[in-house]
Every structure is written in structure tokens, then in C-alpha cells.
């Protein structure tokens, strides 16, 4: 595991995120798929979000990303989905026939965190340290 660093911060904030097209239409292919890859990549780059791995299926996007602590995941997803929706609808006008409500992506997204430390290990660590006072001596 390699930690990332920023000014006065060391972090490991990795998220698995998945979101789908509205109505699960299978439109993420060909030129549109390539353009979405570019837009999502540019947006992540601007936000200092590292894409570890990404998969563009025909009806959903699945990514494993590293997000700096200055950003909330909700903000990252809002920017990615909003910008990509706007750009793809401007550049591919045929989509208006399917997506008449100006929304290209379905509402919401799925996310989960990643790490080598389980909840049980964290709870054990906290329990051990709750038994020590400020000098580090066990009570």
C-alpha cells in the first residue's frame, strides 16, 4: 500500500464508484464512449483525483479512484456526472430523443471505500488505546 501526500497530510482515500445511464440505456460505446472517457479523465485530473482503474460498460461506469482529503466524494461525483452529461448532450444531439429531461445519468451512484484495515482492527486498536492514559501507560 502506498500513501499519498499533500501539504501537511498523508492519506489513502480510495473509493469504488458506480453510476448508470438514465433508464439504463446502452449508449456508452463508440465515439460517445471515447468522449466520455476523455471528459471524465479531464475532470478527475482538474480535481487531483487519481483514476486507478476505470471500466466503461454500455450502460454504466465503474471506477476505482483516489480522492484527496480536501474533496468530498459527493463533490467529485457531482462534477464528474454534471460535466460529462452536459458535454455529451451538447456534442451528440441525437441523445435528446432518448433523454428529453436534460439528464443523461440516473440519479445517485454507488460508492464504497477500500483499504487493508478492517473495522475490527480499528475497533481493537481504539480499545487498546482507550485503556492507556496520556503517558502511554496502560490502566
Listed by start position, the domains of the chain span: 4-130
Could you read off the pLDDT of 102-113 as tens digits, one per residue? Answer: 789 999 999 999
The β-bridge relationship of strands 14-20 and 9-11 is unpaired
- Exposure on the CB side of residue 117, measured as CA atoms within 13 A: 9
pLDDT band at 88 (very low <50, low <70, confident <90, very high): very high
pLDDT band at 137 (very low <50, low <70, confident <90, very high): low
pTM: 0.85
Could you read off the pLDDT of 1-54 as tens digits, one per residue? Answer: 788 898 899 998 999 999 999 999 999 999 999 999 999 999 999 999 999 999
Whether residue 64 has pLDDT greater than 80: yes
CB-CB contact of 59 with 17 (8 Å):
no
Selecting from 3.40.190.10, 3.30.2130.30, 3.40.50.300, 3.30.70.1290, what CATH number does the domain 4-130 have? 3.30.70.1290
pLDDT band at 133 (very low <50, low <70, confident <90, very high): low
Amino acid at each position: 500500500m502506498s500513501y499519498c501526500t499533500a501539504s501537511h497530510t498523508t492519506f489513502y482515500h480510495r473509493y469504488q464508484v458506480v453510476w448508470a445511464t438514465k433508464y439504463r440505456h446502452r449508449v456508452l460505446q463508440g465515439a460517445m464512449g471515447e468522449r466520455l472517457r476523455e471528459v471524465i479523465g479531464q475532470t478527475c485530473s482538474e480535481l487531483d483525483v487519481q483514476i486507478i482503474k476505470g471500466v466503461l460498460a454500455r450502460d454504466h461506469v465503474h471506477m476505482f479512484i483516489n480522492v484527496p482529503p480536501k474533496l468530498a466524494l459527493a463533490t467529485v461525483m457531482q462534477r464528474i456526472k454534471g460535466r460529462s452529461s452536459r458535454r455529451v448532450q451538447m456534442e451528440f444531439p441525437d441523445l435528446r430523443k432518448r433523454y428529453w429531461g436534460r439528464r443523461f445519468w440516473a440519479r445517485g451512484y454507488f460508492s464504497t471505500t477500500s483499504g487493508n484495515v478492517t473495522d475490527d482492527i480499528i475497533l481493537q486498536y481504539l480499545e487498546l488505546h482507550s485503556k492507556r492514559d496520556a503517558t502511554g501507560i496502560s490502566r
